[in-house]
Copies of this chain bind each other. A is one copy, B any other.
Amino acid sequence: MTVSIIGIGLLGGSFALAIREKYPKMHFIGVDASPVNGQLALAKGIVDEVLPLAEAVAQSTLVVMATPVNTIIDLLPTVLDHLPTGATIIDLGSTKELICTIADAHEKRAQFVAVHPMAGTENSGPGAAFKELLPGKNLIICDREKSNADSLTLVESLFRDIGMKLFYMTPKEHDLHLAYVSHLSHISAFALGLTVLEKEKDEQAIFDMASTGFSSTVRLAKSSPQMWAPIFDQNRTNVSDALAAYIDFLQQFKTVIDTQDLQTSLDFMQRANVIRRVLDGIEKR
């Protein structure tokens, strides 16, 4: 069985490494705009060969689109055009509505399964890929009833086999929830990074004085702009709403601090503490 990974980065690479361990006879083809990424992926054993897109797709049982979501949008119709009968294509994109809208317009929609593995780090590229990234994490599948049974079964089997837990929802639900539990966190980190860098023009001061609390809150500010700019753009309505709500809470906090309203300050934080119950659930996975 041949699997093509289009975009051999953190996600595509980690998927290949996890699958490879369970399926040692599977043949992996890498496709990447960057020749260097292709070479690194070969050398790291992520893929067995690197080919141009059309050649790779023509030989594949499974095609995995793991590029930034704007590239997925651009390439998906062409990849579907060239997809062999009986083959399956998935995307790993962090947004789903627009991608699914484009897939829905194609005659081979049934060969497409829209997925999103809820996993990542702030690092990018084949150098960042590691086989332990996906196991134990959650996978979201959108609009499963639009995929044919064989394609869906293939995808569910592979992801379950590497230890992911499957969840199903519509693309609209996906993008709405992700705006709050993922996209907003990334923007808050980017903005925090910008604020600290702007004000603490002396990087040494940040280094000397910050501790791990700061590090953890701003860690996502290291994330790839090329990956995240298209995500925020495609999910702009939900992200904008989430930002508006977040900015509102911050303004309320500022007012409470400016007016020395200690009781409301305590109340806000006690309400926020409820997140402990949720986070402890996440961290136990």
Contact = CB atoms under 8 A, between A and B. Distances in A.
Contacts of A81: none
Interface in A78-117: none
Contacts of A130: none
A249 B250 CA distance: 12
Interface string A157-195: 000000000010000000001101110111111111111
Nearest to A179: B199
A165 to B, nearest CB: 8
Interface stretch (A58-66, A145-153, A213-221): A213-221
A34 interface: no
A36 interface: no
Contact of A193 (B196, B236, B275, B283): B275
A275 B189 CA distance: 10
Interface in A23-73: none
Contact of A191 (B203, B213, B249, B274): B249
A279 B265 CA distance: 29
A262 interface: yes
Contacts of A211: 118-120, 137-138, 182, 282
A233 interface: yes
B194 A271 contact: yes
8 contacts: A177-B205, A182-B209, A182-B214, A191-B249, A210-B278, A216-B216, A218-B279, A236-B260
Query: Which 7 residue pairs are nearest across A and B when measured between Cβ atoms?
Result: A225-B269, A193-B272, A193-B275, A185-B217, A181-B210, A118-B211, A191-B249
